[in-house]
Amino acid sequence: MRVTHWLTVVAFFALLISGMEIVISHPRFYWGEVGNVMTQPAFTLHIPASRGTVPTGYQFEMPDANGWSRSLHFEAAWALVLTGLVYFLYSVWTGHFRRDLVPARGERSWSDFRAVLQKTVGRGRADVAEAHSYNVMQRATYLVVIFVLIPLVIWTGLAMSPAFTAAMPWTVEALGGRQTARTLHFFVTWALVLFVVVHVAMISRAGFWSRMRAMIRGRAAAREDA
C-alpha cells in the first residue's frame, strides 16, 4: 500500500507538471472532434502560450517545452496505470476495498456524512486509532477517486492518442470527439488536484509529520501530537 501510494504521488506530480507545459502550448479548449486557432473555443485560459501562432492577447511567448513534457507525460501516465493495476489487484486479493473502503450499512446516510464533517472541522489532532481506519467521508471520497476520477483521467488521456483510437475508435467516439476528451481531461485533472489539496490539508490538521512517518515506516505514534 505504501509503495503504490508514493509511486502514485510521484507519477501524479510528473503528470501535473508535464500536463501544464502541454497546455501552455495551446491554452484553448474546444468541444467535438477538432479545434484550432481558427475555431471558436469553448473557453480559453488567460495565459501566454509557448507558440506564436496561438492568439492569447499577450505580446510575448512562454519557453517551448512541448517536447520533453509530452515524453514525460507519456512515461508518467504508464507508471500511474501500472501502479494502479498493482494496487487494484492487491486490494481485491486482500479484501482491502470491501474491508476498508466500502461504507458499512450504518454509514451510508447524509446524516453520517454531516456528523463526520462537523467532527473533522471542529477537532484538532486525531487519535492514533484513526490512523488505521477511514471514516465514511474518507471512504466515499477514496472510492470516487479510485473508481471514477482515475479511470476517467486515463480514459480521456488515451482518447487523445491517435494510435490508441485507431485501434479502439469507440473510446473517443463515446466522449464526443478528441477535443472533448482533452477538455474533460483538463477538468478531471483539476478535480484530482482539489482532492490532493484537501487530502494534504486534512493530514496537516490531523498531525502532518506523524502521519507522514506512518506512511513511510508503516507505524503510527502513540498520539498524533507531532
Q: Are 38 and 55 in contact (CB under 8 A)?
A: no
How many structural domains comprise the chain?
2
Give the pLDDT confidence score for residue 204 in this predicted structure: 85
pLDDT of residue 1: 87
Could you report the per-residue pLDDT of 65-111, keeping only the tens digit for each?
A: 989 999 999 999 999 999 999 999 999 999 988 888 887 765 555 55
Higher pLDDT, 1 or 119: 1
84 belongs to a structural domain:
no
CA–CA distances in Å: residue 17 to residues 26, 65, 192:
15, 11, 14
pLDDT tens-digit map of 11-29: 999 999 999 999 999 999 9
CB 33, CB 26: distance < 8 Å? no
151 and 201 belong to one structural domain:
yes
Tell me, yes or no, whether 107 lies in a domain. Answer: yes
Q: Which domain holds residue 47?
A: 1-76
Are residues 169 and 112 part of one domain?
Answer: yes
Lowest mean pLDDT among 109-113, 131-135, 146-150: 109-113
Whether 123 shows a pLDDT value over 80: the answer reads: no
